[in-house]
């Protein structure tokens, strides 16, 4: 290692580090973004973390390089996690990739994101999950809004949460159509937004007299 490279490494070791989170819809990371991330990681010596929310987090990014890295990735189509942005649903791999799955989770995920594409200022900590079967691999029963596919239609859960004191969500629909589930999801998002001023999990709203759905 020559003197200039050693000096550069020493400077990077003392520089403030930040993280950048790339959104990965339906857990599918485009190959071009993957290539660009790999090249940038080699150039700037940061690390990669695949989060349980199905995002790609760049960690230990030198603060001085963060804007350059984001601009390079954005030019290739990457989108980034930011306050107020509607959350990406957490999904299982779905039909064609799992012999238990009964729906295409990527397609349903896209319909949800398209429905809420123009929405701004979604409260922090609000989460959605989609499961292609009753095994619930994506944690639909412990999520604010959980969509679970069955052979007889969809079930919808509201108010689940994980953490040190987990709660199973309340089932508010069974044997429902996809159209019905999308309509109910929109109503729940609107209700949550109306009833909260800051980040708050859905389970705290289940007993509100105006909660739009009964337990099924």
Domain ranges of the chain: 3-75, 90-205
Which parts of the chain fold into alpha helices (H)? 3-14, 31-44, 66-75, 105-115, 178-195
Instruction: With a cut of 90, say whether residue 9 has pLDDT above it.
Output: no
Pairs from 194-201 (Cβ < 8 Å, separation ≥ 24): 196/123, 198/123, 198/124, 199/123, 199/124, 199/125, 199/126, 200/123, 200/125, 201/125, 201/126, 201/144, 201/159, 201/161
Instruction: With a cut of 70, say whether residue 12 has pLDDT above it.
Output: no
Structure tokens given for 63: 């603060």
Share of the chain above pLDDT 70, in %: 94
The mean pLDDT value of the chain amounts to 92
**pLDDT-based confidence at 3, cuts 50/70/90?**
very low
Fold: same for 3-75 and 90-205: no
Asked whether the beta carbons of 102 and 133 are under 8 A apart, the reply is: yes
Asked whether the beta carbons of 101 and 95 are under 8 A apart, the reply is: yes
Token pair 């050693």 is found at 6
Mean pLDDT, range 155-167, rounded to an integer: 95
Q: Which CATH superfamily is domain 90-205 in?
A: Sulfite Reductase Hemoprotein, domain 1 (3.30.413.10)
Please name which of 24, 74, 75, 72 lies closest in space to residue 52, comparing C-alpha atoms: 24
- Taking domain 3-75, whether its CATH number is 3.30.1370 is answered by yes
What is the tens place of the pLDDT at every residue in 66-113?
999 999 999 999 999 988 889 899 999 999 999 999 999 999 999 999
Asked whether the beta carbons of 30 and 11 are under 8 A apart, the reply is: no
Q: What DSSP string runs through 96-124?
A: TT-TT--S-HHHHHHHHHHHTTT---PPT
pLDDT (0 to 100) of residue 191: 95
Structure tokens given for 209: 């007299």
pTM of the model as a whole:
0.88
3-state DSSP assignment of residue 140: helix
């Amino acid at each position: 290692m020559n003197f200039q490279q050693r000096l550069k490494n020493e400077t990077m070791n003392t520089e403030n580090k930040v993280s950048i989170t790339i959104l990965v819809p339906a857990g599918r990371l485009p190959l071009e973004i993957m290539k660009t991330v790999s090249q940038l990681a080699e150039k700037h010596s940061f690390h990669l973390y695949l989060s349980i929310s199905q995002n790609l987090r760049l960690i230990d990014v030198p603060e001085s390089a963060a804007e350059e890295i984001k601009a390079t990735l954005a030019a290739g189509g990457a989108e980034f996690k930011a306050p107020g942005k509607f959350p990406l649903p957490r999904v299982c791999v779905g039909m064609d990739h799992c012999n238990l799955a009964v729906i295409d989770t990527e397609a349903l995920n896209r319909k949800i994101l398209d429905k809420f594409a123009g929405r701004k200022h979604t409260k922090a900590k609000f989460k959605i999950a989609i499961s292609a079967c009753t095994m619930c691999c994506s944690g639909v029963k412990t999520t604010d809004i959980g969509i679970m596919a069955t052979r007889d239609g969809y079930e919808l859960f509201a108010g689940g949460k994980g953490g040190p004191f987990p709660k199973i969500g309340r089932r508010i629909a069974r044997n429902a159509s996809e159209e019905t589930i999308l309509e109910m999801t929109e109503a729940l998002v609107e209700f949550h937004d109306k009833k909260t001023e800051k980040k708050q999990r859905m389970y705290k709203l289940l007993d509100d007299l105006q909660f739009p759905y009964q337990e099924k």
